Amino acid sequence: MNGTPLIRLANVSKVYPLESGDFTALNHISLDISEGEFVALMGPSGSGKSTMMNQLGILDVPTTGEIYVAGKNIASMTNLERTHMRRDVIGYVFQKFYLIPLLSAYENVEYPLILKYKKRDTTGRAAAVLKSVGFDQEMSAHRPNQLSGGQQQRVAIARALVNDPKIILCDEPTGNLDRKTGFQIMDILVGLHKEGKTVILVTHDPKIAEYAHRTIQLEDGKVVES
Amino acid sequence: MKDIFFDLSVRSVRLNFLRSLLASIGIVIGVVAISSMGMLGTNMQLIVKDQLTTGINTIAITPDVVRAEPGASVSSNTGITDIQLREIRDAAGINEVIPIDRTNTQFSIGSNDGRGSIYGLDPADIKNIMNVSEGSTIRGEGEAIVGATIANRFNLKIGTRIKIGEPNISVTRPVVRVVGILSSVGLSSSNGINSDNAIIVSDTWYSNQFGGENVYDQVNVNLKDVSTLTEVENAIDKKVNRNKEVVRISDSSSRITSVSSTLSSLTTFILAIGSISLLVAATSIFNVMMMSVSERVQEIGILLSIGTEKGEIRRMFLYEAFILGIIGAVIGGIMSVIIGYSVVSAMIGNTSYFFLPESLVYIPAGMLIGMIVCIVSGLYPAWRASNMDPIDALRNE
């Protein structure tokens, strides 16, 4: 962990033009997240959590200001470069799991490897990552609709991990799970953080946020506590 | 390499099996329409062309228009001479050479007068080139066979006597006896003789009455193989018209060219009708692809957000169109053979040309066109899918 942070937001604003006037979702935000941090992003609905999430996940570009991820300015990248960055640097874990319904659990995890190496996985990496989240071969053959919520989220985490990203970005990862399953998922994330991943967690649940080492509180598009 | 995007497309097609099948049926119909229509047209063309070539295998050689130098007298002998005939025979090789005498004259049957052509032909040739429908062919002097029109007009029977020549009180006109009546040929005469309105007599009888022994008004060459037409014409021209144009060589090959071009525009027209069904198929493929895209918006959002390239998304949907196209084209191709064969046999009644390459080529052509139509119909849906905003797409339920 040297001087340059893994993620740097410099005076970032995101404005959505609406018929009723412009809506400022993010209002001049500046913050740094260093490699190896476990950050919880909190705030009431409408505070800009999701917008922030999209910015950090390189799914969107800010209206003004600059975002640097792993030292690169997002705004100056081409669409394809951003796509490759999403594939290689960031792992996404969504509230609704967002597995690909047509693919089995194994294929869902193998998918990012295929995107990266343009060929099917022969290294056993996908199976190994699935095993680390408690999936055996038999369960890996199931389609997402044959799995419980907790199982689906494990597969989603495995998918996020398979390309060995620096950042794990979780959007309400326990939002669709019961408390017990939710804590199991959180235990996996804690383990990942211990292995050196930078984990960013969006949640409105204070109990979940407690797992993090740093909490960023958003309100009306501004950071009120960091 | 097994492409995961291809896998995804296959699974999407399988998941929406009925919908995909219906879209493919559109392509099947299109392919069948294009190829059977094409085959129908081509078979028609081939048959008509073949029928026509039996009519154009005749080269007619006639004496050239006589042009005398000013002051010189115009030779009265304007026929093809025996020497020229021999040259023609040499040049014609294996092909049949038929010298013909011909004139126009008046004749009388009982009290009825008429006018028509009289042909003098070698009885051996008559047997070969004339189609006698009633009676027999000429065997001796004073016998004649008559064309269908003339026979009908004058109510000629076997045995009827015809006086040949202008009525003249001071001269007894020669008489021929009808021994045979020819079947009607119309314009499709295959031997260069318009025999419907003719009285045909033996060459010796003709020379006795009209003179001109060893001089002929026309020489026909009947080709064994119509493709040697130009070759034989050139050979005759070189041999007979050595120093100057003495004979004119003509054929009716221009007729086949014009009929062929008419038929080929007819085929194009039929094909255009067939294409309409492909247009309908294209709409249905487009519709299915758009449905597939809009049903999978969230899935597209997931794929895009975890780092799938636009080109890969496009590929996935183009594969899907391609799969629908392959299914449609293969089924369509198989059905084209069956339906095309039935259509040709029902509408033309002759399937002997069906399995020729010129006809069968419409099956792969129709399949290819079907596939292309499918992929083109998938272009826009694929482009739309790949250009979605991942955030909006993810939010879509």
Report pLDDT digits (tens) over B329-339: 999 999 999 99
Which strand (E) or helix (H) includes residue A207?
helix A206-209
- The answer to whether residues A96 and A176 touch, using CB atoms and an 8 Å cutoff, is yes
Q: Which residue has the higher pLDDT, B66 or B80?
A: B80
Yes or no, beta carbons of B308 and A54 under 8 Å apart:
no
Amino acid at the residue B151: A
DSSP character at residue A215: E
* Parallel, antiparallel or unpaired: strands A7-16 and A222-225: unpaired
- CB-nearest to B4 from A85, A111, A159 is A111
Q: Does A86 touch chain B (CB under 8 A)?
A: yes
Among A25-39, B59-73, B230-244, the range of highest mean pLDDT: A25-39
Q: Among B190, B208, B93, which residue's Cα sits nearest to residue B140?
A: B208
The residue among A103 and B224 whose pLDDT is bigger is A103
Residue B64 in this model has a pLDDT that exceeds 80? no
**CA of B321, closest CA in chain A: separation in Å?**
17
Residue B189 scores a pLDDT above 70: no
Distance CA A55, CA A53 (A): 5
Under the banding of pLDDT at 50, 70 and 90, the label for residue A163 is very high
* DSSP calls for A69-92: ETTEEGGGS-HHHHHHHHHHTEEE
Q: How far apart are the first and last CA of chain A?
A: 20
- Check residue B1 and give its pLDDT: 47
A10 touches chain B (CB under 8 A): no
Asked if residue B12 has pLDDT above 70, the reply is yes
Rounded to the nearest angstrom, the minimum Cα separation between A9 and chain B is: 20
- Nearest 5°: the CA angle A68, A73, A77 is 140
Distance in angstroms (rounded) separating the CA atoms of residues B319 and B315: 6
The residue among B151, B110, B145, B107 whose CA lies nearest residue B129 is: B145
Residue among A94, A99, A115 whose CB faces B307 most closely: A115
- Using DSSP, state whether A103 is helix, strand or coil: coil
Q: Reduced to 3 states, what is the DSSP secondary structure of residue B33?
A: helix
Among the residue ranges B30-34, B83-87, B224-228, B348-352, the one predicted with the least confidence is B224-228
Q: What are phi and psi of B249, to 5 degrees?
A: -110, 125
pLDDT in the model for residue B338: 94
Close Cβ partners of B151 (under 8 Å, ≥ 6 residues apart) = B178, B181, B182
| Both tokens assigned to B350 | 């002759």
Q: Report CB contact under 8 Å: A100, B302.
A: yes
pLDDT (0 to 100) of residue A3: 60
Mutant choice from B2, B4, B13 vs A, greatest count of A C-beta within 10 A: B4
- Considering the entire predicted model, what is its pTM? 0.71
Q: If phi over 0 gives left and psi between -120 and 50 gives alpha, with beta otherwise, what is residue A138? A: alpha
Higher-pLDDT residue of A27 and B282 is A27
Point out the least confidently predicted range of A19-33, A130-144, B118-132. B118-132
pLDDT at A162: 95
Residue B78's identity, in one-letter code, is T
Compute the half-sphere exposure of residue A101: CA atoms within 13 Å on the CB side of its CA.
Answer: 11
Cα separation of B240 and B225, whole Å? 22
Q: What is the pLDDT of residues A42-77, one digit of tens each?
A: 998 889 898 999 999 999 999 999 999 998 999 899
- Mean local confidence (pLDDT), A4-17: 92
Give the pLDDT of residue A1.
43
Residue A80 touches partner B, C-beta closer than 8 Å? yes
Phi, psi dihedral angles at A19 (to 5 degrees): -65, -35
The residue of chain A with its CA nearest to that of B12 is A102
CB A11 within 8 A of CB A31: no
Instruction: Kindly identify which residue of chain A lies nearest to residue B303, measuring between CA atoms.
Output: A100
Establish if B12 touches chain A: CB-CB under 8 angstroms: yes
